[in-house]
Amino acid sequence: MPVETMPIVREALLAAGAITRVVSAFVHAGNPYFVAALRDQNGRLVLSSWRFEGPIGEGVLERVAELGAGPISSISIAGLDDGLVATAVSNAAGQLRVIFWRVGPDGSLTRLAGGAGDSATDVAITAVAGSPGRVVTAIRDGLGNLRLTVWDLVSDTEVVRRASAQGGRAEKVSVASFGPSVATAIRDNDSNLRLIGWFVAPDGSIHRGEQVSCGRAEDVSVAAYGPRRLVTASTNYMGNFRLITWRVGAAPGGGPAGGQLIRCTEASLGRMSHISVQALPPAGGFREEDSTFAVTTSRDAEGYLRLMIWDLSAAGSPVRVADFKGDGIRDASLAIGDGPAAGRVLTAAEDGMGCLKITGYRVEP
């Protein structure tokens, strides 16, 4: 299938103030808002909600609300059901801090409960599918090890920290959930991409499953595109982009921790950096069927944003079916609409001048 069989149309663009890092997430459950979490020029956490609506070709992007918090360094964000998002940050003391937020029907933002964790130099967070109010954080702790922790929002004023587990030395971390399980993609201390499966039990305990290493990597990112399907995006030792699909086999003896991680297909491109990957929901939403497409953002060798869509169902290797070249950036993150916002994609980027740039796209099947 040739490139550009699934066009990407840029519909809206808004620029804001100076930042130093930005990530974004989409709030599910029919809520039409995207949420961006950023580190502003004063080093403080700022959340903002954005509405991206309108007919095809006439999308309108509007900032609705903004709410600030304390000084941070690393930052990650996850969208949950019921109008919730959760942020994981490394605060001014270098400690993990998890905070839940509610996005109202009008796009307003309300800070809910939070919890404190271990020392952290890199952080990632994911919502656990089928477990309302539950997230898992993956961090590089103060000793340079991967550490996972389960957190439950039990009320607007209380977060309970459940179990933790370690996964060896790590330099960079990424995490994604698939069913009651999560997968971490890390760059280990030998600079290799390592993929590890974990099972999160109903009581909040976490059990390590299989792991596999697959060569040198710089940037690493992982996403789930089905109950037992994963996709990783990374760069190899030469800085070239690499996309790999995986299947999670049945656990030996029917155990809960997940089975063998089976490498399926692979595609590669030229030099890229600042890579992230997410699954593109099918028309019926993730709850009804597996996705067959993934979306990646990256910074190409010339410094421009690249937004690409990949067909993961193709035999032999993933096929690039869309490739949009945007403006010059330093870094970018990706948010994908689901349900009523299906077909909407948003990038939140730090542009070449160090300012926030929010861009809305329409994906046309």
The tally of domains found in the chain comes to 1
Predicted pLDDT at 28: 58
Q: How far is CA 254 from the centre of its chain?
A: 29
Q: What pLDDT shows up at residue 314?
A: 75
In a domain, 2, yes or no: no
Residue 352: count of CB within 10 angstroms of its CB: 13
Q: Which residues face 12 on adjacent strands?
A: 360
Residue 46 lies in a domain: yes
Q: Does residue 342 lie within any of the structural domains?
A: yes
Q: Count the neighbouring beta carbons within 10 Å of the beta carbon of residue 157.
A: 8
User: Cα dist. 220→90, 214, 277, 310 in Å?
Assistant: 19, 12, 9, 17
pLDDT in tens, 149-167: 999 999 999 999 999 999 9
Distance CA 263, CA 163 (A): 29
CATH number for the domain spanning 183: value is 2.130.10.10
Query: Which pLDDT belongs to residue 77?
Result: 94
Quick: pLDDT tens for 169-192.
Answer: 999 999 999 888 999 999 998 889
Identity of residue 37: A
Of 244, 136, 232, the C-alpha closest to 187 is: 232
Dist. CA 89–CA 215, nearest whole Å: 29
Tokens encoding 56 = 């095809």
DSSP 8-state symbol, 328: E
pLDDT score at 252: 55
Please indicate, yes or no, if residue 209 is contained in any of the structural domains: yes
Q: Measure the CA–CA gap between 31 and 101, rounded to whole angstroms.
A: 14
As given in the structure block, the two tokens for residue 282 are: 């099918």
Spans of the chain, pLDDT less than 50: 1-2, 29, 253-255, 284-288
Six token digits for residue 230: 């994963």
* pLDDT value for 251: 63
Q: Is residue 157 part of a domain?
A: yes
**Is the CB of residue 222 less than 8 Å from the CB of residue 176?**
yes
Q: Does residue 357 lie in a domain region?
A: yes
Between β-strands 109-127 and 95-103, what pairing exists: parallel, antiparallel or unpaired? antiparallel
- Structural domain includes residue 1: no
Closest CA to 140 of 98, 178, 168: 168
Q: Are strands 145-155 and 158-169 parallel, antiparallel or unpaired?
A: antiparallel
pTM of the model: 0.92
The one-character DSSP state at 259 is: -
Domain that holds residue 336: 8-363
